[in-house]
Amino acid sequence: MGVMEGPKQGATVSQKLGNLGVVTTSLDAAINWARTGAMWPLLFGLACCAIEMMATQAGNYDLSRFGMELNRASPRQSDLLIVAGRVTRKMSPVVRQLYDQMADPKWVISMGDCASCGGVYNNYAVVQGVDEIIPVDVYVAGCPPRPEQLMHGILTLHEKVKNDNWSDWA
Amino acid sequence: MVNIAPAADPVEKAKERFGDDILHVKTFAGETTLVVSPENVPDVLRFLKSAAGLTYNFLSDISAVDYYPNDYGDHYDGEESDFRPERFGVAYHLYSMLYNRRLRLKTYAMEEDPVVPSVIDLWVGADWLEREIADMMGVRFEGHPDPRRLLMPDDWDGHPHRRDYPLGYETIQFSFNADEIAEHKPFAEE
């Protein structure tokens, strides 16, 4: 058994990387790859849609395949707000504050009919669509949406983010 | 050995004590309802709570009804046995733990400024029950120490459980009118 030799001090890049070589890409693609690869959602559920959101994150559907296994319990550390459930008028300032506390870049998924347009709750107490409170990137229909639907919404958002230009956020 | 007074008939006892102040008595499906005017509510409740043979010592609930627009007063054309002089009905649901039986006391409040005395000094549990009714139905409880809204936001306009309160504020979006509604929908800014 011989001793494996590591790269020497002052070795060239190709020596360090071995057979991997060098990959060139655009800054946009690299940034968007990083953003879609670890888009952490906020730990935030409002109603029954949150149950389905938890099912999406649990083992059977395994949201961590898309780099989203970690729900941050703080808006300062999260990139994605999944509005899971109906937003009441009384709750709307809280939702808005959570959105305002999130650091850029940030995205919003409106999950389910209630968050998207009020759903069956066409009454005085429920906001008729969370887009009256915060801007929404992707709407997911369903009452509640199945985990597949939520994942499709998330992947749709990923497609949107991949087409982003980083300078738009600067 | 504890001496417990034998159970007495609440209607008889109340009429004996308050006479004509008991405006109406109704029995339906084995449930008895006494009707009094708002200013007599605390006295009657105190009597029902503490009188021997009655001891309705537990306040199960306070509820309120809105009989708008035509289920009360002169233009009420319902059953003869009903007695609804004013628009708002406030019902106190009492329970006697001693005799295992229930009684309902009901009062009616004016439409313009519905006021009923608070019974928070009889039952502390009346606190949130009265606040909820004041919030949702707009019946004021005179003497309540903390008359804030319970459910709706503090700056809310109106009382949602009234029957003349609009149910929703947006027309339902269908495919044929979606664009029309989206036009004046207040979308949020970034």
Give the pLDDT of residue A9. Answer: 67
Give the pLDDT of residue A23. Answer: 76
Give the pLDDT of residue B56. Answer: 92
B chain contacts of residue A135, beta-carbon cutoff 8 Å: 187-190
Domains defined along chain A, listed by start: 40-157 (3.40.50.12280)
CB contact under 8 A, A90 and B152: yes
CB contact under 8 A, A122 and B168: yes
Percent of chain B with pLDDT over 70: 95
What's the rounded Cα separation, in Å, for the pair B160 and B56?
31
Residue of B nearest to A122 (CA): B168
CB contact under 8 A, B188 and A135: yes
Residue of A nearest to B167 (CA): A123
Query: Tens digit of pLDDT for each residue in B44-93?
Result: 999 999 988 888 999 999 999 988 877 777 766 666 667 788 888 999 99
Query: Tens digit of pLDDT for each residue in B104-149?
Result: 999 988 777 888 999 999 999 999 999 999 999 989 998 999 889 9
A100 vs B: CB within 8 A: no
CB contact under 8 A, A132 and B186: yes
Q: What is the mean pLDDT of residues A146-161?
A: 92
Confidence of residue A147 (pLDDT cuts 50, 70, 90): very high
This complex has an ipTM of: 0.71
DSSP for residue A126 = B
DSSP for residue A8 = P
Max CA pair span of chain B: 78
A chain contacts of residue B185, beta-carbon cutoff 8 Å: 128-129, 131-132
* Single pTM value for the model: 0.76
Q: Is B14 helix (H, G, I), strand (E, B) or coil?
A: helix
CB B93 within 8 A of CB B61: yes
DSSP strands (E only) in B110-179: 115-117, 140-142
Tell me phi and psi for residue B157, to 5 degrees: -105, 125
Give the pLDDT of residue A99. Answer: 92
Tell me phi and psi for residue B175, to 5 degrees: -65, -30
Q: What is the mean pLDDT of residues A18-36?
A: 82
Domains defined along chain B, listed by start: 10-162 (3.30.460.80)
Query: Tens digit of pLDDT for each residue in A119-130?
Result: 888 888 888 889
Residues 6+ apart with CB under 8 A from B2: none
Residues 6+ apart with CB under 8 A from B119: B41, B42, B45, B59, B92, B126, B130
Q: Are strands B88-96 and B58-66 parallel, antiparallel or unpaired?
A: antiparallel
Q: What is the mean pLDDT of residues B160-178?
A: 80
A128 vs B: CB within 8 A: yes
pLDDT exceeds cutoff 60 at B163? yes
Distance from the Cα of A120 to chain B's closest Cα (Å) equals 10
CB contact under 8 A, B166 and A124: yes
Where helices occur in chain A by DSSP H, the ranges are 13-17, 27-37, 48-57, 92-101, 112-117, 147-162, 166-169
B172 vs A: CB within 8 A: yes
Burial of B91 per CB tally in 10 Å (0-12, 13-18, 19+):
middle
Give the pLDDT of residue A109. Answer: 93
CB contact under 8 A, B189 and A122: no
Give the pLDDT of residue A5. Answer: 61
What's the rounded Cα separation, in Å, for the pair B124 and A59?
48
pLDDT exceeds cutoff 70 at A154? yes
Give the pLDDT of residue B188. Answer: 78
Query: Tens digit of pLDDT for each residue in B3-57?
Result: 888 888 889 888 888 888 888 888 888 899 999 999 899 999 999 999 888 889 9
Question: What's the token pair of residue A42?
Answer: 């906020």
Distance from the Cα of A121 to chain B's closest Cα (Å) equals 9
CB B183 within 8 A of CB B173: no
B164 vs A: CB within 8 A: no
Give the pLDDT of residue A159. Answer: 92
Q: What is the mean pLDDT of residues B158-162?
A: 89
Give the pLDDT of residue A145. Answer: 92
Tell me phi and psi for residue A86, to 5 degrees: -75, 140
Query: Tens digit of pLDDT for each residue in A63-109?
Result: 888 888 778 889 999 999 999 999 998 899 999 999 999 988 889 99
What's the rounded Cα separation, in Å, for the pair B37 and B116?
9
DSSP for residue A72 = B
pLDDT exceeds cutoff 60 at A7? no
In the stretch 80-99 of chain A, residues with CB closer than 8 A to chain B read 89-90, 96
Give the pLDDT of residue B117. Answer: 92
Question: What's the token pair of residue B17?
Answer: 């004590």
CB contact under 8 A, B170 and A122: yes
